[in-house]
Structure 1
Amino acid sequence: MDFTAGHLPVDLILFGMIAAFLVLRLRSILGKQTGLERRGVPPSPPAARAGRGPVIEGRAEPRPAPNDRPLPDPTGPTGVKLARIGERDRGFDGATFLRGAEAAFRKIVQAFAEGDRTTLKANLTDAAYNAFDAAIVAREAQGETQRAEIRNILQATITDANLSEQGGLWLAAIDVRFVSDQISVLLGRDGLPVSGADATTELSDLWTFERLLNASGSASGPNWRLANARSA
């Protein structure tokens, strides 16, 4: 069979054109394997790419940025009390305080679960620390362990504030209500739940933070510390 130029059989030319077309068509549909692609790994779900919060009972909870937390009405009772604190503490800012309170909430919850007394002592008043430490001691004596994981903080709201004079110093106190999606469960020696739930649960807590201010309008001693924590 003669393959010299100008003498190619018509049927071979047609077959070659068809084959080339099929190769190009398949590449356009399937893409080209580069060797760098991860095989067998499904793509991330759309919700994960969008950065939405976890789905709780069939609803997706948004993750509001700390800057979006609402502050009390400046003309309302709590807003007026915060303004009084600001008059005594020239560096006080409600939004900055709330961001710090939210960070402290996460840190303290985790430290209590892990029995991290160093972190607790640095972030709690003496009375609050003694209460937390007593709970840890009782837990350790029973061979129990605490599991805690904050999945999302849905709300962080200042609900009240107070400023009182104590022996030449001023004690500022601010109540913050936290609503969070958490896993919080106490496990016994056998690893079985003693209390709480090994599932995401919406919890509401009311925490009181305190700070001592001196007469010159600046902080005296440590920064804001947790003085009281209870369910709300």
Structure 2
Amino acid sequence: MGSFDFVTFFFFVAAVIIFIQLRSVLGKRTGHERPPQDQIARREQAEAPEGLDDPKVVTLPRRGRENQEPDMFAAVDAYAEPGTELNKGLREVVTADPSFDPKEFVGGASMAYEMIVSAYAEGDRKTLKSLLSREVFDGFVAAIEERESKGETVRSNFVGIEKASIIQAEMKGTEANITLRIISQLISATLDKDGEVIEGDLVEVTDVNDVWTFARDTRSRDPNWRLIATEADQ
């Protein structure tokens, strides 16, 4: 029994010594320990596909994802059939001005058309000056002054635009030229100094077919287009 007790006591003392030594080693910080997050990151890297975080590996862009460069002519091809002269002309404009969108341009030109027609009827030179080229502005003002000199007035009611579409586009140097065919409905009459109708009608709606050309220097910071030519579409 005495021998058994001594052996038991010996192993007990040995276990205590080993525990103390392990604790002295394991409890010390050497300054080279990795934080828990670092250990987690190492484990995630080990589980990730090989080469994903390797700086020497180049990740190729995925098709159909955000890394794919958008087609700058998509809006043009959606508006005009590829291969046509109109499509080619619009592509030239987009090349010079990547922000150009045919559909948005038609919307803006339609609003400008209504403003110009109304301003001309009212003799609003200020509005016309901001929307017309110098040459067209001078022509409009000359017509306004002529009717004013005769005491004539214009009564006009813009009903709306039935259709507006681009029929030609081209670059002339750095200047983009866009021509539209515009079909609008208008109630318009010219009255003499006595208030008698001498042209048009005060109640009848008339279809008006116009071909207007707008232009803008693509190098300019001014985003506005100006009307440079007008003609009646027969």
What TM-score, normalized to structure 1? Answer: 0.64
Judge which range, 192-201 or 139-148, deviates more. 192-201
- The number of aligned residues is 155
Aligned to 1:200: 205
* 1:72 aligns with one of 68, 77, 80: 80
**Percentage identity across paired residues of the two chains:** 36
Query: How far apart, CA to CA, are the structure 1 residues paired with 2:79 and 2:162?
Result: 15
Question: Could you list the per-position Cα deviations for residues 48-69 of structure 1 after superposition, in whole angstroms to 9, with x for gaps in the alignment?
Answer: xxxxxxxxxxxxxxxxxxxxxx
How big is the shift at 1:72?
2.9
Aligned to 1:118: 126
Question: Could you list the per-position Cα deviations for residues 57-95 of structure 1 after superposition, in whole angstroms to 9, with x for gaps in the alignment?
Answer: xxxxxxxxxxxxx93324311111011100001211111
Query: How far apart, CA to CA, are the structure 2 residues paired with 1:177 and 1:94?
Result: 14
Question: Could you list the per-position Cα deviations for residues 94-150 of structure 1 after superposition, in whole angstroms to 9, with x for gaps in the alignment?
Answer: 111111000000111011111111100000000010000000100110111112222
Partner SS, residue 137 of structure 2: helix
How big is the shift at 1:221?
3.9
Q: Which runs of 5+ in 2 are unaligned?
A: 1-77
Matched, 1:98 2:103: no
Aligned to 1:147: 155
Question: Could you list the per-position Cα deviations for residues 162-207 of structure 1 after superposition, in whole angstroms to 9, with x for gaps in the alignment?
Answer: 1111xxxx11111111111111221111111222232101110111
Matched, 1:230 2:234: no
Runs of 4+ in 1 over 3 A off after TM superposition: 219-222
Aligned to 1:86: 94
Question: Could you list the per-position Cα deviations for residues 18-52 of structure 1 after superposition, in whole angstroms to 9, with x for gaps in the alignment?
Answer: xxxxxxxxxxxxxxxxxxxxxxxxxxxxxxxxxxx
Matched, 1:108 2:109: no
Aligned to 2:183: 179
Matched, 1:189 2:197: no
CA contact (8 A) 1:147 1:184 kept: yes
Larger helix proportion of the pair: 2
Partner SS, residue 75 of structure 1: coil
CA contact (8 A) 1:174 1:210 kept: yes
Larger strand proportion of the pair: 1
Q: Calculate the aligned-residue CA RMSD, in Å.
A: 1.5
Q: Which runs of 5+ in 1 are unaligned?
A: 1-69
What TM-score, normalized to structure 2? Answer: 0.63
Aligned to 1:213: 218
Aligned to 1:161: 169
Bigger relative contact order (CA 8 A; separation at least 6): 1
Cα separation, partners in 2 of 1:222 and 1:136, compared to 1, 3 Å = farther
Listed as ranges, the matches of 1:18-57 within 5 Å are: none
